[in-house]
Amino acid sequence: MKKIILAISSSKHLGLDNGELICGRFPDGEVSVTLGEDVKNKEVVIIGSTQPPAENLIELLLTLDTVVHNGARKVSIAVPYLGYAKSDVEKISGQSISSRALINTIEALGGKKLKDILVMNLHSIRLEKFFKTPVMHVSFINGLAENFKSLKNFEIVSPDEGGVARAKEFAGYLGKKNIVTIKKNRLSHTNVEVLQITGNVKDLNVVVVDDMVQSGGTILSAAKSLRKNGANDIYVASVHMDYGGGGWKKLDRSNLIKKIITTDSIKPVEGLSKKFEIVNVAPALKKAIFSLRS
């Protein structure tokens, strides 16, 4: 049976949708969603990233609710970038856990019709405990690593302890067994201090591997310390680039960063400099979507 694929505004640029979904705004700015497809007794996949502004999330929720109430037989959600994922633990008493609230809301709206949630490079494995619906993880780490196959005399760097497994996956694809790790202390949402670098980078090129760039604080702090420790060219490989966080501008302006390889899981802003190279995630997402059980 043919899958009807609908995309909200945040993921229209991927060109994977084959069904009509009109996402608009009422005069007061409220979100409106209108189905242009008959989904009754059909299998539907909704594609949408949930980065700010909040309208992206609202579009996803309204689309899910509309599809379910119009009689879809089965619904799956594909989320190239899961916004609010960094809020996965209560760091101070009384603080909301946004990722839990988001996941619970999606599953409540989908009900028994929601069969699968497909996500690309979740920020943390801690998020897995919030899902009750089966989750398919799509990693694009190797897709990024492919762009560094010709690089010589280099080391792979994890900018924090939470990214070690990610950096090892990246390094493994390039035939390297070891990585350089950085221990950091987060001072605020945007400021980070490097406490320790484990591994040698002197006179070597380095690739700093991360799942996302928001404020850019982690990457820039890592780059400064790596240069102080003798690193040559510094590259950044990040699956997601959250342009709303402003970090991309800092990386672009920094003389420390030679090249930034990222994906279009979030639609790139216009006017990116030649320092940025964007890799298309659509083929990988399409393959994953059509591998979902019917």
Distance CA 58, CA 46 (A): 13
Task: For domain 141-279, say whether CATH 3.40.50.2020 is its number.
Answer: yes
pLDDT: is 180 or 85 the higher one? 180
Question: pTM here?
Answer: 0.92
Q: Identify whether 275 is a catalytic site residue.
A: no
* Domain span(s) for CATH 3.40.50.2020 in the chain: 3-139, 141-279
Task: For domain 3-139, say whether CATH 1.10.3720.10 is its number.
Answer: no
* pLDDT tens profile 227-274: 999 999 999 999 999 999 999 999 999 999 999 999 999 999 999 999
- Please report which confidence band the pLDDT of residue 111 belongs to, taking 50, 70 and 90 as the band edges: very high
Q: What is the pLDDT of residue 179?
A: 96
Q: What is the pLDDT of residue 268?
A: 97
Q: Are strands 135-138 and 114-120 parallel, antiparallel or unpaired?
A: parallel
Q: What is the pLDDT of residue 124?
A: 76
Catalytic residue among 184, 259, 274, 275: 184
Q: Are strands 3-7 and 43-47 parallel, antiparallel or unpaired?
A: parallel
Q: What is the pLDDT of residue 89?
A: 77
Q: What is the pLDDT of residue 192?
A: 67
* pLDDT tens profile 112-151: 999 999 999 988 778 888 999 999 999 999 999 999 999 9
* pLDDT tens profile 3-23: 999 999 999 999 999 999 999
